[in-house]
């Protein structure tokens, strides 16, 4: 089968017409995963199509994904995105990528050399929550993180994203090259602030003068990113090959909806992503919080309780009225009241749209995928809202059930007694707790004692502990579906 670079694509594929030869690598992106392909790279592609601009992207995977980078090269750095609505699909060819690197394929020095090229103005990231090597509860660098310990011992030979950024900035400073902007596009609350804290904490341990230079000269804009992009499966790639007319192993499918709100704070210029629908604002934090709590919070709730209830995909959970109602109530009763939004924000319309997006039957978004890395997700998706309700004395039963669902899920056995493949950087800690307690309700307090997830305040709050304990017991006794119905 011919590859996509042959441009013998089906008529329906929307092809860009801008001259790729004019592009320069002005962005180095860490994390050529599913999401970036359907979000930042696509926004950049659409911007390039609308205005005269030379912003191209060099794609880097620091962990895994060697095959994807090799495949991307074999395809002349072209790939397609299938935007799947409930009734129709648009397929777009993306041509905004100029080159790609992988430390395993090209060496770490090649990645650092690219990051220190003079015209590189932005280093952006979709490296998952754990990629920041930050303590989820405090948002500061986790100095006990294995990658950080290794990188601090050998800062000029980094492995972590934080280590690469600090070393690249050090080299730029030494060579008298202006710094780049560090732009996080991960689902991390105040993602720019967390990136900044991790980079500065790390730099301070390496060289305090370098840290002061970074503090004075580098910006870390916060961004709110939104588009549901499930991991590609065999089925996705087969469908894309049919739609495109040639095989595209870098192809990705996603929903039609997309949103990107960016803090306009760049030290070396930025693309006009607004012409492709992004919004530049002075303060992203309220939008980030709204999205993390309403969308991601209810997503995690549906992932744990949905998986336990036997639903493989988010759209499957939406076929059960109890789950649908609980997700909407989670958004409107547990999360919306905790937000401080600019005047005119219609949270009910937002929640209604979210339910509609979750229902999209064309998207096979696995509950198991969203359930991953809960230790990194729970604090920002549920922790802040919980503390709000506990302080106000208001109802938080949806949050308690969500946390109990997560606890039961990391017990690593389904309601039918089959093993669950729990993926989480803290999985060994969960295994040790369950080895001691079994699925017994006494596991609740042991899990709540994990400070990196729950801080020290929540375990001390009787109302909270007993609500989670009751919810967990209900899931044990009656199962997840009945527990959700009880809400």
Where does this chain bind ligand CS2 (CB under 6 A)?
187, 226-228, 295-296, 299, 369-370, 377
Which of residues 25 and 296 has its CB atom nearest to ligand CS2 in the complex? 296
* E strand or H helix at 443: helix 443-448
CB atoms within 10 A of CB 427: 16
Which does residue 199 touch among ligand NAI, ligand CS2, none (CB within 5 to 8 A, set by kind)? none
- Looking at residue 275, the DSSP 8-state letter turns out to be G
d(CA 185, CA 435): 37
225 touches ligand NAI by CB under 6 A? yes
- Given the complex with ligand CS2, which of 369 and 473 has the nearer CB atom? 369
Beta bridge partners of 160: none
Shortest distance (Å) from residue 116 CB to ligand NAI: 19
Give me the phi and psi of 263, to 5 degrees please: -70, 125
Residues between 159 and 218 with contacts to ligand NAI, criterion CB under 6 A: 161, 186-187
User: CB-wise, 123 or 370, nearer to ligand CS2?
Assistant: 370
State in angstroms the smallest separation of the CB of 281 from ligand CS2: 18
Question: 3-state class of 418 per DSSP?
Answer: coil
Rank residues 46 and 151 by Cβ distance to ligand CS2 and give the closer one. 46
- What is the token pair recorded at 353? 């749209």
Q: Which residue, 75 or 380, is less far from ligand NAI as judged by CB?
A: 380
Distance CA 72, CA 30 (A): 15
| Partner that binds at residue 41, options ligand NAI, ligand CS2, none, CB closer than 5 to 8 Å by kind | none
* Residue 248 contact, options ligand CS2, ligand NAI, none, Cβ 5-8 Å cut-off depending on partner type: none
Pick 184 or 187: Cβ nearer ligand CS2: 187
Q: How many CA atoms lie within 13 A of 486 on its CB side?
A: 19
Is residue 152 part of the contact set for ligand NAI (CB under 6 A)? Answer: no
Give the span between the Cα atoms of 35 and 55, in whole angstroms. Answer: 19
Contact between 145 and ligand NAI (CB under 6 A)? no
Distance CA 440, CA 453 (A): 20
Q: How far apart are the first and last CA of the chain?
A: 52
Number of residues that this document lists for the chain: 487
Ramachandran category for residue 98: left, alpha or beta (phi over 0 → left; psi -120 to 50 → alpha): alpha
Among 128, 298, 338, 360, binds ligand NAI (CB under 6 A): 128
When CB distances are held under 5 to 8 angstroms depending on the partner's kind, the choice from ligand CS2, ligand NAI, none that residue 296 binds is ligand CS2
DSSP-derived letter for residue 62 is S
Closer CB to ligand NAI, residue 34 or residue 399?
34
Rounded to 5 degrees, what are φ and ψ at 203? -60, -40
Comparing CA positions, the residue from 89, 60, 74 lying closest to residue 6 is 74
Q: How far apart are CA 13 and CA 245, in angstroms?
A: 9
We find the least distance from the C-beta atom of residue 377 to ligand CS2, in angstroms, to be 6
Q: Rounded to the nearest whole angstrom, what is the least distance from the CB of residue 233 to ligand CS2 in the complex?
A: 15
Instruction: Select from ligand CS2, ligand NAI, none the partner in contact with residue 402, using the beta carbon and a kind-dependent cut-off of 5 to 8 Å.
Output: none
Tokens of 4: 């996509």
- Residue given tokens 């359930």 in the structure block: 371
Q: Please, what is the minimum distance in Å from the beta carbon of residue 30 to ligand NAI?
A: 6
- Taking CB within 5 to 8 Å according to partner kind, which of ligand CS2, ligand NAI, none is near residue 299? ligand CS2
Q: Residues binding ligand NAI: what is the number (CB under 6 A)?
A: 25
136 contacts ligand NAI (rule: CB under 6 A): no
Residue 65 touches which of ligand CS2, ligand NAI, none (CB < 5 to 8 A by kind)?
A: ligand NAI
Q: Is residue 220 a contact residue for ligand NAI (CB under 6 A)?
A: no
Nearer to ligand CS2, 60 or 228 (CB): 228
Contact 241, 247 (CB under 8 A): yes
CB 404 within 8 A of CB 339: no
Q: How does DSSP assign 83-150, residue by residue?
A: EE-SS-EEEEEE--EEEEE-HHHH-HHHHHHHHT-TT--EEEE---GGGG-B-TTT-SB-TT-HHHHH
Closest residue to ligand NAI, judged by C-beta, is: 33
Q: How far is the CB of 178 from ligand NAI (least distance, A)?
A: 25
Stretch of 60-68, 277-285, 308-316, 379-387 lying at the interface with ligand NAI (CB under 6 A): 60-68
Would you say 37 or 172 has its CB closer to ligand NAI?
Answer: 37
- Interface residues with ligand NAI (CB under 6 A) are 31-36, 61-65, 126-131, 161, 186-187, 225, 227-229, 231
């Amino acid at each position: 089968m011919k590859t996509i670079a042959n441009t013998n694509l089906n008529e329906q594929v929307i092809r860009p017409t801008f001259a790729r030869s004019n592009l320069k690598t002005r962005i180095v992106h860490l994390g050529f995963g599913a999401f970036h392909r359907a979000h930042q790279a696509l926004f950049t592609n659409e911007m390039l199509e609308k205005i005269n601009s030379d912003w191209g992207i060099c794609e880097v995977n620091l962990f895994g994904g060697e095959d994807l980078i090799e495949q991307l090269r074999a395809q002349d750095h072209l790939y397609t995105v299938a935007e799947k609505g409930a009734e129709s699909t648009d397929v777009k060819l993306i041509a905004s990528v100029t080159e790609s690197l992988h430390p395993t394929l090209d060496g770490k020095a090649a990645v650092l050399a690219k990051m220190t090229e003079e015209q590189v103005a932005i280093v952006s990231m979709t490296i998952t929550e754990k990629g920041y090597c930050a303590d989820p509860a405090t948002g500061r660098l986790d100095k006990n993180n294995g990658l950080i310990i290794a990188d601090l011992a050998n800062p000029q030979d980094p492995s972590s994203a934080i280590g690469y950024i600090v070393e690249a900035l050090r080299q730029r400073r030494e060579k008298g090259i202006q710094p780049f902007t560090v732009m996080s596009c991960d689902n991390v609350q105040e993602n720019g602030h967390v990136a900044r804290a991790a980079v500065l904490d790390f730099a301070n341990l390496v060289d305090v003068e370098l840290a002061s230079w970074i503090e004075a000269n580098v910006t870390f804009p916060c961004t709110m990113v939104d588009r549901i992009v499930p991991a590609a499966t065999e089925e996705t790639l087969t469908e894309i090959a049919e739609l495109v007319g040639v095989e595209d192993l870098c192809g990705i499918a996603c929903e039609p909806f997309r949103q990107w709100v960016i803090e306009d704070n760049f030290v070396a210029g930025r693309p006009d992503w607004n012409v492709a629908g992004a919004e530049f604002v002075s303060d992203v934090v309220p939008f980030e919080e709204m999205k993390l709590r309403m969308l991601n919070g209810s997503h995690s709730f549906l992932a744990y309780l949905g998986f336990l209830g036997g639903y493989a995909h988010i759209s499957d959970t939406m076929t059960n009225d109890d789950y649908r109602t609980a997700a909407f109530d989670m958004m409107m009763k547990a999360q919306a009241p905790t937000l401080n939004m600019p005047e005119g924000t219609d949270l009910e319309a937002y929640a209604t749209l979210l339910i509609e997006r979750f229902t999209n039957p064309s998207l096979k978004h696995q509950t198991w995928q969203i359930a991953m890395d809960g230790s990194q997700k729970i604090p920002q998706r549920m922790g802040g809202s919980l503390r709000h309700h506990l302080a106000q004395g208001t109802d938080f039963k949806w949050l308690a059930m969500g946390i109990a669902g997560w606890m039961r899920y990391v017990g690593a056995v389904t309601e039918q007694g089959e093993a669950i493949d729990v993926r989480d950087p803290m999985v060994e800690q969960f295994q040790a707790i369950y080895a001691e307690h079994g699925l017994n309700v006494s596991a609740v307090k042991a899990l709540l004692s994990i400070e990196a997830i729950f801080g020290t305040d929540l375990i001390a709050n009787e109302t909270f502990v007993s609500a989670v304990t009751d919810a967990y017991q209900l899931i044990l006794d009656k199962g997840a579906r009945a527990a959700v119905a009880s809400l």
